[in-house]
């Protein structure tokens, strides 16, 4: 694989703070944990968990307290319906421990580096940008957080930055603050060493982060995008209308060999992988624009015995990590290992997943609840375009050259 950004941007675990009492919602949340409240056609957490799995998260650790049994049942039902599998774990605080105390009690289950987010807010931003920035942080940095500029930050924590480091952190804006500010958007990338800064009952926002920021140990990534906090009834109602529309994304579906990477013939190892010029930029641009990005690829090299499915999965994992390190993400991958004249009998068959048949695209459309009219498929073979058209998706034939320049007008067109 060609040289590129460090793969240390990869983070597999996210902890979700989901133990709050939701007192501002009153009777609405008396029997239902706030993160489990219905937004559109599914619980709020379902939207959040689907977003997390887009960026390489494979395990979610729920930090629970209030109505924890109800939350567990909701989470397991959500996980069964997600487009990508997630390992689910729970850490229940023994007392009302606060956001920092929740980490303290979960210490034994935390990865060396992990994401942390609030279970009652969602920031539609490019998490890969946060991960890519964090890969360049110095070893003493214990936290990197997302921040977002807002006209009125009175309801949120506000931060002051100098050269990418947080120098001041307020759980609420100081009285003298007037006008717009950088709000704490509630997504953090944390080093597990931060647990040593917590106690059994404490607030991450009030007790821990301000102290670390004063020591220069907290960095920030400025993001943009839709933000919603469902902590009050008006915003809960607003989320019910807005969030499903915002997260109903357009999708860029990419062929692999000859489009995303140079086709050297049945590429099955990282040693033979080379990104097409502009490929990493194309994926980053699509992610930043709020698009899903998928790979849809025929892999008859498996059927021919040139490499195994395990080797292909390892390659795809490395490719996805490389793209996240460059600030973009591959949300999901579909591949077809079958061929009608395969050397290996296990893969010798006709398949409606093999392009020009549309099976792979149709499965992505179903799993991710996509609108085919808002999807585009880019590939280097007529079979790519034929598969797209059969799935109701607009197909485009990539002639080679720079992939970023080719997809730029597709991303800017109305969807």
> Mean pLDDT in each 10-residue stretch from start to end of the chain (415 residues)?
52 94 81 94 97 97 94 96 97 95 98 96 96 92 95 81 89 72 94 97 94 95 95 94 96 98 95 97 98 98 97 97 95 98 96 98 98 98 98 98 98 87
Q: Is the dihedral of CA 76, 86, 101, 167 positive or negative?
A: negative
How confident is the model over 361-377, as pLDDT tens digits?
A: 999 999 999 999 999 99
Angstrom distance (rounded) from CA 104 to CA 358: 49
pLDDT tens profile 88-104: 999 999 999 999 999 99
E strand map for 165-278: 165-170, 181-191, 218-222, 227-229, 251-254
- Give the per-residue pLDDT at 169: 81
Q: What is the DSSP letter of 205?
A: I
As a whole number of angstroms, the longest Cα–Cα distance in the chain is: 74
User: Which residue bears the tokens 């609840």?
Assistant: 369
How far is residue 400's CA from residue 387's CA, in Å, rounded to a whole number? 19
Q: What pLDDT score does 4 carry? A: 43
Per residue in 273-303, pLDDT (tens digit) is 999 999 999 999 999 999 999 999 999 999 9
pLDDT at position 176 is 67
pLDDT at 414: 82
**pLDDT of 42:** 96
Q: Topology of 7-246 in CATH? A: Spore Coat Polysaccharide Biosynthesis Protein SpsA; Chain A (3.90.550)
CA distances (Å), origin 32, targets 19, 49, 52, 66, 410 = 11, 18, 22, 9, 42
Query: Catalytic positions, please?
Result: 255, 257
Q: What kind of fold does domain 251-412 have according to CATH?
A: Rossmann fold (3.40.50)
Give yes or no for a contact between 130 and 221, defined as CB atoms under 8 angstroms apart. Answer: yes
pLDDT of amino acid 24: 82
Numbered ranges of CATH 3.90.550.10 in the chain: 7-246
Rg of the Cα atoms in the chain: 22
Structure tokens given for 347: 């893969």
Cα separation, 403 vs 122, in Å, equals 31
* pLDDT value, residue 1: 66
Helical residues (DSSP H) of 208-357, grouped into ranges: 209-214, 233-246, 279-288, 300-303, 309-325
- Give me the phi and psi of 109, to 5 degrees please: -105, 0
Residue 415, pLDDT score: 75
Domain with CATH 3.40.50.1000 in the chain: 251-412
Q: What is the pTM of this model?
A: 0.94
Give CA–CA dist 182/152, Å, rounded.
9
């Amino acid at each position: 694989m060609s040289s590129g950004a460090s793969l240390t941007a990869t983070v597999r675990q996210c902890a979700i703070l989901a133990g709050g009492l939701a007192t501002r919602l009153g009777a609405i949340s008396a029997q239902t944990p706030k993160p489990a409240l219905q937004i559109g056609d599914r619980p709020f957490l379902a939207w959040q968990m689907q977003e997390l799995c887009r960026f390489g998260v494979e395990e979610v650790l729920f930090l629970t307290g209030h109505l924890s049994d109800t939350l567990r049942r909701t989470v397991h039902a959500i996980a069964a319906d997600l487009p990508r599998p997630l390992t689910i774990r729970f850490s229940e605080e023994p007392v009302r421990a606060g956001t920092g105390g929740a980490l303290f009690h979960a210490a034994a289950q935390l990865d060396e580096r992990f994401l942390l987010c609030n279970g009652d807010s969602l920031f539609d931003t490019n998490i890969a940008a946060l991960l890519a920035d964090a890969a360049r942080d110095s070893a003493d940095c214990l936290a990197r957080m997302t921040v977002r500029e807002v006209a009125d930050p009175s309801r949120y924590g506000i931060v002051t930055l100098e050269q990418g480091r947080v120098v001041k952190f307020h759980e609420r804006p100081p009285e003298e603050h007037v006008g717009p500010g950088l709000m704490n958007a509630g997504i953090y990338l944390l080093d597990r060493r931060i647990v040593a800064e917590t106690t059994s009952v404490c607030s991450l926002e009030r007790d821990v982060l301000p102290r670390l920021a004063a020591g220069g140990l907290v960095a920030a990534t400025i993001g943009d995008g839709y933000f919603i906090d469902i902590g009050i009834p008006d915003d809960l109602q607003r989320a019910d209308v807005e969030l499903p529309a915002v997260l109903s994304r357009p999708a860029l579906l990419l062929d692999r060999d000859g489009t995303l990477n140079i086709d050297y013939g049945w590429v099955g190892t990282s040693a033979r992988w080379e990104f097409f010029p502009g490929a990493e930029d194309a994926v980053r641009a699509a992610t930043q624009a709020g698009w899903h990005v998928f790979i849809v690829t025929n892999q008859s090299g498996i059927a021919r015995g040139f490499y195994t499915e395990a080797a292909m999965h390892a390659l795809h994992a490395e490719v996805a990590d490389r793209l996240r390190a460059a600030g973009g993400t591959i949300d999901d991958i579909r591949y077809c290992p079958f061929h009608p004249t395969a050397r290996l009998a296990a893969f010798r068959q006709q398949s409606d997943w093999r392009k020009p048949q549309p099976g792979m695209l149709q499965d992505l459309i179903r799993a991710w609840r996509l609108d085919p009219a808002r999807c585009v498929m880019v590939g280097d073979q007529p079979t790519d375009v034929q598969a797209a058209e059969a799935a109701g998706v607009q197909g485009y034939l990539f002639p080679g050259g720079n992939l970023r320049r080719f997809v730029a007008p597709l991303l800017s067109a109305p969807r």
